[in-house]
Amino acid sequence: MSAAEGPLVVGVDTSTQSTKALVVDVATGKVVASGQAPHTVSSGAGRESDPRQWWDALREALHQCGDAAREAAAVSVGGQQHGLVTLDAQGAPVRPALLWNDVRSAPQARRLLEELGGPKAWAERTGTVPGASITVTKWAWLAEHEPESVRATASVRLPHDYLTELLTGVGTTDRGDASGTGWWASGTEAYDEEVLGHLGLDPALLPRVARPGEVVGTVRDTAGLPFAKGTLVAPGTGDNAAAALGLGLRPGTAVLSLGTSGTVYAVSERRPTDPTGTVAGFADARSDWLPLACTLNCTLAVDRVAALLGIDREAVEPGTSVTLLPYLDGERTPNLPHASGLLHGLRHDTTPGQLLQAAYDGAVHSLLGALDLVLDEDADRSAPLLLIGGGARGSAWQQTVRRLSGHPVQVPEAKELVALGAAAQAAGVLTGEDPAAVARRWDTARGPVLEAGERDEAALARIAGVISDAAPLLERETDRR
- Active site members: 239
Distance CA 293, CA 230 (A): 39
Distance CA 168, CA 121 (A): 37
For residue 52, with 0-12 CB atoms within 10 Å meaning exposed, 13-18 middle and 19 or more buried, which class applies? middle
Contacts 24+ apart (CB under 8 A), 389-394: 389/256, 389/257, 389/258, 389/259, 389/262, 389/298, 389/299, 390/258, 390/259, 390/260, 390/299, 391/258, 391/259, 391/298, 391/299, 391/302, 392/256, 392/257, 392/258, 394/313, 394/314
Helix (H, G, I), strand (E, B) or coil at 330: strand
Beta bridge partners of 283: 289
Please give the full DSSP string across 403-465, using - where no structure is assigned.
HHH-S-EE--S---HHHHHHHHHHHHHHH---HHHHHHHHTTT---EEPP----HHHHHHHHH
Distance CA 402, CA 361 (A): 11
Packing angle, helices 457-480 and 352-368, rounded to 10: 80
Distance CA 400, CA 357 (A): 8
Beta bridge partners of 31: 24
Pairing of strands 280-283, 289-295: antiparallel
The values of phi and psi at residue 124, to 5°, are: -70, -30
Return the closest-CA partner of residue 24 out of 60, 77, 74. 74
List of residues 6+ apart from 374 with CB closer than 8 A? 254, 264, 265, 266, 268, 272, 279, 291, 292, 293
